[in-house]
Amino acid sequence: VKPVTGKGHVGTVMAQATDWHLGEVVKPDEVLYLNAFNEAIAGIRVRQWFEKVVTLPRAYVNGVYLEGLVIPATGDLFTGEIHAELTENNYERVLQTVLNAQEPILAGLQMLEREYDGKVEVDAVVGNHGRMALKSVFKGRVYDNFEWLFWSVIRDRLADRGSKVAGNVSTSMDMNVEVYGRNHLLTHGDQFKGGTGISGAY
């Protein structure tokens, strides 16, 4: 989006949505009570993420006209069932999570649409936890992933509601997104190996 003249400084908010791992359970007694995760906590985190995308720019960005919001959705929205322990311990099966996550996320995106005057874009790539195969594949990788299905359905349901939210779902493991003439390569990063084991973050 080209800056609007006559409004001084302008900017676009970018708020990454990644590694929510909906469906997973972390029991406090198994991690020395240092952490916990379950369906209730997942719901709180999702709601707080959407709220903060509204309140943080309001509170900390002064003197800048915010002309839109870009949401890079970079994978592992669902924790999936790629390990036996996840199948046994998740708070629900992955298809239930795919179904149950739709309304909260639709509601959140429509709230953001109102806040950002309809100028909201979701750019989605898949992670590794949403895959249906036990091992990661490269050919047809996207179509083997629940996240591709989820974001495609979200895009279409928003369109059915007359929403102006733009939903872009990559058919590759990566995606190029241009903001103000600068390219951003979106990727979950699990295909990177070596280093500390989390080289995708680097």
Yes or no: say if 13 and 56 are a contact pair by the CB < 8 Å rule. Answer: no
- Which sign, positive or negative, has the C-alpha torsion 99, 93, 129, 20? positive
* Dist CA 92 CA 25 (whole Å): 10
* Buried-exposed string 157-170: b where 16+ CB fall within 10 A, e elsewhere: bbeeeebebbbebb
- How far is residue 45 CA from its own chain's centroid? 13
Instruction: Give pLDDT, residue 53.
Output: 97
Nearest to 108 by CA among 38, 52, 67, 56: 52
Does the pLDDT at position 2 exceed 50?
A: yes
For the segment 54-111, what is each residue's pLDDT rounded down to a tens digit? 999 988 888 888 999 999 999 999 999 998 999 999 999 999 999 999 999 999 999 9
pLDDT band at 145 (very low <50, low <70, confident <90, very high): very high
Mean pLDDT for the stretch of residues 112-121:
96
